[in-house]
A and B are shown apart, each in its own frame.
Chain A
Amino acid sequence: QKEVEQNSGPLSVPEGAIASLNCTYSDRGSQSFFWYRQYSGKSPELIMSIYSNGDKEDGRFTAQLNKASQYVSLLIRDSQPSDSATYLCAVNLYNFNKFYFGSGTKLNVKP
């Protein structure tokens, strides 16, 4: 079992819709959770971080964390074509020694 699992997609949504991206993790010692956006051939860039259960909102982005169920999600409201990218979920274990990344979900936002 992988440490972090994501549906590879592609996930296609029309412009203006809500995109919902999901991620599950296996280690209950996971402490910090991050969503990165990666355009093809480019380096990952941080979108959101979340550390405690519940929702965290930042502009059009909302991260949701449920430690009991071991999942973290990212909602993108009013999706734009520029949001089309691969979204990586990352988990930082308790001892900080490692980041684990999911394989990413490819999002296509159609005009």
Chain B
Amino acid sequence: EAQVTQNPRYLITVTGKKLTVTCSQNMNHEYMSWYRQDPGLGLRQIYYSMNVEVTDKGDVPEGYKVSRKEKRNFPLILESPSPNQTSLYFCASSSLYLSALQGAEAFFGQGTRLTVV
């Protein structure tokens, strides 16, 4: 089954304690991305990756890091979480090949609800 898997689904942590949210896809997609979703603000892109070792900032990258060492994995790292990073996070992947043909939709993970206290 084609899917994007995020872990953990729920996380409560304290300010300043480093954490990693994992994301893995089994569709051999080149493109992966992280979003945060906050009430009234919709989905905002944090970072994206066009392929292995290729990452770039989205619209709200401050306070986050990512890495893309393997095609299937795209972890999101919060080195020193703060309360304003409390949000619902989504990882998504997409096929660049299909996009080149006619555009391709993003497949989303189940979401990670993060609370920083």
Contact = CB atoms under 8 A, between A and B. Distances in A.
Contact of B99 (A96, A101, A103): A96
A99 B34 CA distance: 11
* Contact-residue bracket for chain B: 20 to 34
B41 A98 contact: no
B108 A45 contact: yes
Interface in B32-80: 33, 35, 40-45, 48, 50, 56, 58-59
Contact of A99 (B33, B88, B109): B33
Given A32-B102, A43-B109, A97 B42 contact: no
Nearest to B106: A99
Interface of B: 31, 33, 35, 40-45, 48, 50, 56, 58-59, 88, 90, 92, 96, 99-100, 102-111, 113
Interface of A: 8, 31-32, 34, 41-46, 49, 51, 88, 90, 92, 96-104
